[in-house]
Structure 1
Amino acid sequence: MPKVREVCHHVRSKVAGPFWVTIDLMFDGQENYDRYAQSPSLSAESIAAIYGVEADTISLYPVPQMKVLKISYPRRSPQGGIEERDLHSGQQYAYLLDVELT
């Protein structure tokens, strides 16, 4: 099974306000997008398990014209809070790189 890092030419995460993180999976071609953007490995339940949040708080935004899947989830603590470890959420994408896609 391929991993996210093998089917996406770019994966990034960023702050989406003080309470949210957004991850962009930019697939390497239409074939990879069509095959993996709807993968159970990228479902709300799977993302919730990886990031330790509730599945019903995950938002998935497929953007087929750009071959992108946007994933948004709530931060565990507000941006800049005492528990903050990644102020700009720029490192959060790394948890998805080795996710195997089905």
Structure 2
Amino acid sequence: MKQSILDLAHVVRSKNAGPYELVLDILFKDKKIYSHIKESGQFKKELIAQIYKIDPKSVHRIVWFDPANAVKVVMPRGIVSGSVGDTDVYGAQQHAPLLKLEFAV
């Protein structure tokens, strides 16, 4: 059975990691959910690339942080922060595609 990320996580957010990179954070509700997602291999660069419509090679890294039941994704911003055409200088609205994620648990 698949469940929405909204049911599995307390926090889903994005922020800048400098003007050229974006960080996506997911903090899962508990250790059991976190461990299952981590060990299942469902959350990977290809999934992020698919929902953000980028090349998987562009996803710089995925970092699992066990003490916080969290996963962090570092990827390039689509447009440099603060440049002409940037509509989200802080990168705080870029997590929206993650809200569509579903995982088998």
TM-score when normalising by structure 1: 0.90
5+ residue gaps, structure 2 = none
Shift of 1:101: 1.1
Range with bigger deviation, 12-21 or 30-39 = 30-39
Structure with greater strand percent: 2
The size of the alignment, in residue pairs, is: 102
Deviation track 1:55-87 (CA, whole Å, cap 9, x = no partner) reads: 112110000121000011101111112231211
Residue 93 of structure 1 is matched in structure 2 by 95
**Structure 1 segments unaligned to the other structure (5+ residues):** none
**Aligned in 2, Cα 1:39/1:23: closer, same or farther, shift over 3 Å?**
farther
Distance 1:55 1:77, change over 3 A: same
Distance 1:26 1:39 in 2: 17
| TM-score normalised by the chain length of structure 2 | 0.88
Between the aligned partners of 2:16 and 2:85, the Cα distance in structure 1 is 16
Deviation at 1:44, TM superposition (A): 0.4
Indicate the SS of the match to 1:12. Answer: strand
Counterpart in 2 of 1:81? 83
Cα RMSD (Å) of the superposition?
A: 1.5
**Conserved? CA contact 1:41–1:100, under 8 Å:** no
Identity of aligned residues (%): 27
